[in-house]
Structure formats: structure tokens, C-alpha cells
């Protein structure tokens, strides 16, 4: 009897402690259905509203993720209401989210089609800027918008620069997340691939974690509109967005060696410091080829990078970024890029640095002259 009491006593203590020791950390996902309330988003045929389509998709994504006990889903909205862009970011920050996913539909005056995923950054071109400006215009429907966004002008590309720097710590993680989502939506769903892009979305600027904005498809395209508004289409988008988030989760937690697929990303200078391994000479431009990024630190040796050398490393938040080469002229950097791609780094691209900070390729070429 005494022995039985001892066994029962031990079980009462050991089982809870064992469960506590093995407790899986919760991965927090904020799902942001774009627009809402008096902001309908894109409107087609006076009856189809972007705000309704993206809300249905976001709720379906959340339902799929909530089936995983180690994931907590937070919604910026679950009903037809207008949430300020400022407040959407605040919700994510308050909950200390691991990722922020904003879901939208695209629009154009033509029958253009396809999926594109954005991270916050300098506008690579006028088209990206116009997309961001359209999404940002919702601020004029908000109360006290002049006070909240006093330093932001949606008509000025220059105002994006300050926003980009605030998200810089999470840029590499955001790009990786965007690539995984884009690959899932275009590779698995076979949507037309419009790539991973950078633009100045206010809703992404407000967050302090890896953040992306998904333009699922074009409401203005007749075929894509039918798909977006159908239960089948919304279910497919939700399933693949959820799968992409789970893939990213495994990658960032070091449980997967997933390598992002080949996608063109317009990555422009946003004030990032030069990798310490190979400092730039004062007053000179330096070009490097970014070949990969990973939450795992690798020794900067050729055998870890398919024989490429020299390799330099930069810590960017939770991610290590790896660069190949160190060229003084853009022409030389193109040769390095070609070498990297021949070695299998199909997603490699050129990054430029000046006075210890990352700058745009266009700016580097001007200085080079």
C-alpha cells in the first residue's frame, strides 16, 4: 500500500513536469484580410467587393492553421469592418506575432492575370509604386488620418525610404516567406507568376516581424474573378497559403533545409550595413552576390557553398545571409552572378554597398562613374 502511494505521488509530479519540459513553442500568425467596412477595396460590376473575397480566404486559412496545436492565429478582422492600417500593425505587435500575412486581390484596366507577393521596400519601379499607392489610399477613410500619417505622403516614392529602414531587420525572413508563398501559389496552383516584389505598403511598415502582402489574383480578369469568387477557388488559395506558412515555420525553426525556389526579387538598398567579413573601402562601391540565407550559421568556407569563394556572412535578425565575391565594378559583379548561377544558385542576385551601407544598383552605377 505504501509502495502504491509512492508510485501515485511520483506520477502526479512527473507527468505534468514531463509535459512542461516538452511543451512546443507557439507560433503566432496574424492574418490580415485587406480593406473592410466603408473601404470595399476593388469593386467589379458594382456587386463584387475585394473586402468580401479576401475575408473568406483569410478565415479559411485561419481554420486550417488552427488545426495545428502549436499555432495560434490572430485576425485583424473577422467581420466586415474597417480596421485602420495603423491598428492592423499594432495588433500584430501587441501579440508578438511570428509572421504577418495581409491578403488582397489585384486590379488592372486590362485582362492581365497572375499572383504576386510583396515585402516592404523601396519601389523597384513605377508599377510597384502604383500598386502600393492604391492599397495605401485607404488611410483617407480613417479618422484622424492626418495625425496618424503626418510624415507619410502616398504620392511620394521618397517617403517609402524611412518605412523600409524600419522593417529592414526582418527583410530576409520576409523575402523567404514571400518566396515560399509565391512558389506554392504558382508552382502548385499553377497561377501565372508575377514574382516577389518590394513596395511601400503602410500596413507592412507598421509591423515588427516578417511581413508580406499577397495579391492573390486579379478581380478585373474575367477568369480569375470567377475563380476568386468560387468556393473552390477560395478553398485552393486558403489551402496553399496555409501550406506555405507551415513550410516557412519549419524553415525558420530549423526543422527544414528548404531552399527557396528561383524567383526574381527586386531588392533595393535600404540602409543595411556592409557584411563584416569584407568591409568596403572608404569612398568605393562594392558589389556582392547574395546566394542564400538560412536560420542556421554555416562556416564561410568553399565546401559549404559549392566551391564558391570568397564568402562573407551577415546576421539579419534570426537569419544569416551569405554573399559571394567582392567586385569593384558592376560588370565584374555580373560575372560573379553568372558563376553563382552555374553552381546552382538560381535565385542569386547582386547587392551593392557604399560607405558601409547597402544601396540600389542604380545608385552604385552612378557612383562608379
Percent of the chain with pLDDT over 90: 41
Report the SS3 class of residue 105.
Answer: strand
Same domain as 295, residue 205: no
Same domain as 179, residue 290: no
Q: Is there a domain that residue 359 lies in?
A: yes
Q: Is there a domain that residue 22 lies in?
A: no
Same domain as 333, residue 245: no
The C-alpha atoms of residue 56 and residue 60 are separated, in whole angstroms, by 6
The C-alpha cell at 208 is: 515588427
Count up the domains in the chain and report the number.
Answer: 2
**What mean pLDDT is predicted for residues 14-29?**
64
Same domain as 343, residue 207: no
Q: Is there a domain that residue 329 lies in?
A: yes
Q: Is there a domain that residue 277 lies in?
A: no
| pLDDT interval class at 297 (50, 70, 90) | confident
Q: Is there a domain that residue 264 lies in?
A: no
Say if CB 319 and CB 173 are below 8 A apart. Answer: yes
Q: Is there a domain that residue 73 lies in?
A: yes
Same domain as 232, residue 333: no
Q: Is there a domain that residue 71 lies in?
A: yes
DSSP conformation letters of 38-95? TB--SEETTTEEHHHHHHHHHHHHHHHHTTSTTEEEEES-SSS----HHHHHHHHHHT
Least confident window among 9-23, 138-152, 195-209, 235-249 = 138-152
**The predicted structure's pLDDT at residue 201:** 56
Last residue of a domain, one of 206, 233, 252: 252
The C-alpha atoms of residue 160 and residue 200 are separated, in whole angstroms, by 5
Report the SS3 class of residue 193.
Answer: strand
Q: Is there a domain that residue 54 lies in?
A: yes
303: domain CATH number is 3.30.70.1070
Least confident window among 141-145, 185-189, 337-341 = 141-145
**What mean pLDDT is predicted for residues 146-163?**
42
Say if CB 159 and CB 151 are below 8 A apart. Answer: yes
The C-alpha atoms of residue 275 and residue 322 are separated, in whole angstroms, by 9
Range of the domain at 74: 27-252
**What mean pLDDT is predicted for residues 234-246?**
97
CB within 8 Å of 367: residues ≥ 6 apart: 285, 354, 359
| pLDDT interval class at 86 (50, 70, 90) | confident
Same domain as 245, residue 312: no
Same domain as 290, residue 160: no
Same domain as 194, residue 86: yes
211: domain CATH number is 3.40.630.40
Is pLDDT at 99 greater than 80 in this prediction?
yes
Give the mean pLDDT of the chain: 77
Closest Cα to residue 234, out of 47, 49, 32, 55? 55
The C-alpha cell at 306 is: 559549392
DSSP conformation letters of 215-246? EEEETTSHHHHHHHTSHHHHHHHHHHHHHHHH
Say if CB 135 and CB 246 are below 8 A apart. Answer: no
| pLDDT interval class at 62 (50, 70, 90) | very high
Percent of the chain with pLDDT over 70: 70
Q: What is the DSSP letter of 313?
A: E
CA torsion sign, 40 to 45 to 47 to 53?
Answer: negative
| pLDDT interval class at 115 (50, 70, 90) | very high
| pLDDT interval class at 5 (50, 70, 90) | low
Is pLDDT at 155 greater than 60 in this prediction?
no
Q: Give pLDDT tens digits for 277-291.
A: 444 444 589 999 988
**The predicted structure's pLDDT at residue 129:** 40
Q: What is the pTM of this model?
A: 0.65
132 exposure class (CB count in 10 Å sphere: 0-12, 13-18, 19+): buried
Same domain as 289, residue 236: no
Is pLDDT at 73 greater than 80 in this prediction?
yes
Pairwise pLDDT comparison (223 vs 253), residue with the higher score: 223
Same domain as 216, residue 156: yes
Say if CB 295 and CB 315 are below 8 A apart. Answer: no
Same domain as 222, residue 294: no
The C-alpha atoms of residue 132 and residue 120 are separated, in whole angstroms, by 10
Same domain as 302, residue 190: no
| pLDDT interval class at 218 (50, 70, 90) | very high
The C-alpha atoms of residue 25 and residue 27 are separated, in whole angstroms, by 6
Report the SS3 class of residue 297.
Answer: coil
Amino acid at each position: 500500500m505504501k509502495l502504491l502511494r509512492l508510485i501515485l505521488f511520483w506520477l502526479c509530479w512527473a507527468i505534468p513536469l514531463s509535459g512542461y519540459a516538452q511543451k512546443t513553442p507557439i507560433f503566432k500568425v496574424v492574418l490580415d484580410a485587406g480593406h473592410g467596412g466603408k473601404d470595399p477595396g476593388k469593386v467589379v460590376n458594382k456587386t463584387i467587393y475585394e473586402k468580401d473575397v479576401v475575408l473568406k480566404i483569410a478565415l479559411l486559412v485561419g481554420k486550417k492553421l488552427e488545426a495545428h496545436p502549436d499555432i495560434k492565429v490572430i485576425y485583424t478582422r473577422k467581420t466586415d469592418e474597417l480596421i485602420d492600417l495603423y491598428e492592423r500593425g499594432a495588433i500584430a505587435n501587441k501579440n508578438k506575432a511570428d509572421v504577418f500575412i495581409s491578403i488582397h486581390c489585384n486590379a488592372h484596366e486590362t485582362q492581365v492575370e497572375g499572383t504576386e507577393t510583396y515585402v516592404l521596400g523601396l519601389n523597384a519601379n513605377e508599377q510597384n509604386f502604383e500598386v502600393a499607392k492604391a492599397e495605401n489610399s485607404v488611410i483617407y477613410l480613417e479618422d484622424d488620418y492626418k495625425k496618424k500619417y503626418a510624415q507619410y505622403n502616398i504620392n511620394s516614392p521618397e517617403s517609402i525610404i524611412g518605412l523600409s529602414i524600419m522593417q529592414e531587420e526582418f527583410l530576409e525572413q520576409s523575402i523567404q516567406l514571400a518566396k515560399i508563398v509565391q512558389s506554392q501559389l504558382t508552382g502548385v496552383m499553377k497561377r501565372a507568376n508575377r514574382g516577389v516584389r518590394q513596395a511601400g505598403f503602410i500596413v507592412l511598415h507598421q509591423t515588427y516581424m516578417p511581413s508580406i502582402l499577397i495579391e492573390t489574383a486579379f478581380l478585373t480578369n474575367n477568369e480569375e474573378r470567377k475563380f476568386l469568387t468560387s468556393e473552390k477557388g477560395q478553398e485552393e488559395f486558403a489551402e496553399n497559403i496555409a501550406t506555405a506558412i507551415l513550410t516557412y515555420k519549419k524553415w525558420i525553426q530549423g526543422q527544414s533545409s528548404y531552399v527557396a525556389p528561383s524567383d526574381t526579387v527586386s531588392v533595393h538598398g535600404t540602409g543595411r550595413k556592409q557584411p563584416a567579413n569584407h568591409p568596403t573601402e572608404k569612398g568605393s562601391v562594392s558589389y556582392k552576390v547574395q546566394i542564400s540565407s538560412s536560420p542556421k550559421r554555416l562556416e564561410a568556407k568553399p565546401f559549404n557553398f559549392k566551391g564558391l569563394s570568397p564568402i562573407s556572412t551577415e546576421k539579419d535578425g534570426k537569419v544569416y545571409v551569405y554573399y559571394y565575391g567582392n567586385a569593384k565594378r558592376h560588370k565584374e559583379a555580373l560575372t560573379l552572378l553568372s558563376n553563382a548561377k552555374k553552381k546552382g544558385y538560381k535565385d542569386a542576385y547582386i547587392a551593392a554597398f557604399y560607405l558601409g551601407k547597402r544601396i540600389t544598383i542604380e545608385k552604385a552605377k552612378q557612383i562608379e562613374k
